[in-house]
Amino acid sequence: MIVSLPGIASILSYEEIILTTYDDGYGILTIGAGHTAMAGTPKPKIGMKITLHEAFDIFRRDLENYADDVRSEIDVPLSQNQLDALVSWHFNTGKIGDSTLTKRLNSGEYNSVPEEMARWKFAQGQVSNGLVNRRNHEAAMFTSGVYGDRPVVVRQTKGGKIETLSLAEIAELMEDVPARGVENTI
């Protein structure tokens, strides 16, 4: 199973796409759709700028890696919405391989996933309202298949003018880059 277009849009709605390197608010240089040096190349540097197509190229590679991690770590059957929610959670936390969430889910405790997701609400030791909202959204996606309709925001710089992308535009941008394990049909 591969990540669906609604799943991709959901992840992007929480990451925003920012085309110039910025500090994520916690001292981590970020570019595109939440891409950091921990996710691989390119390594964001101060003053770096990318195009929207480059941002989607980077996002696709990052997403494929996170989706591969979820598929390799989860041993129980998943529905599409469950896979999408877990990829979103892992994309943000990077913890699918060593979390209680994974252990409990692999033991068949599907109902424990929302509770385990909710635990990941801290940024630098403080509760983050943004993470609380994201975890609630991921839990709803996992349990009920509710993806929501948050806009996917694109900015040239952090805090800059907002542009939004439709599902059709996201699908087109995802198709512009060769896919491996990412569904890009509506």
- Which residue in the block uniquely carries the two structure tokens 């959204």? 137
Measured CA to CA, the distance from residue 90 to residue 61 in angstroms comes to 14
Q: What is the pLDDT of residues 138-152, one digit of tens each?
A: 999 999 999 999 999
- Whole-prediction pTM: 0.90
Q: Is the residue at 85 inside a domain? A: yes
Q: Is the residue at 183 inside a domain? A: no
CB atoms within 10 A of CB 144: 10
Mark the ranges of the chain whose per-residue pLDDT is less than 50. Answer: 178-186
Q: Is the residue at 75 inside a domain? A: yes
Measured CA to CA, the distance from residue 102 to residue 115 in angstroms comes to 12
Active site residues: 15, 24
Q: Is the residue at 186 inside a domain? A: no
Q: Strands 126-127, 29-32: parallel, antiparallel or unpaired by DSSP? A: unpaired
Q: Total structural domains in the chain?
A: 1
Provide the CATH number for the domain around residue 48.
Answer: 1.10.530.40
Q: Is the residue at 182 inside a domain? A: no
Q: What is the pLDDT of residues 3-34, one digit of tens each?
A: 999 999 999 999 999 999 999 888 999 999 99
Residues 6+ apart with CB under 8 A from 87: 3, 7, 11, 63, 66, 67, 70
Domain span at residue 21 reads 5-175
Among 89, 3, 91, 66, smallest CA distance to 100 is for: 89
Which residues are 182's β-sheet partners? 3
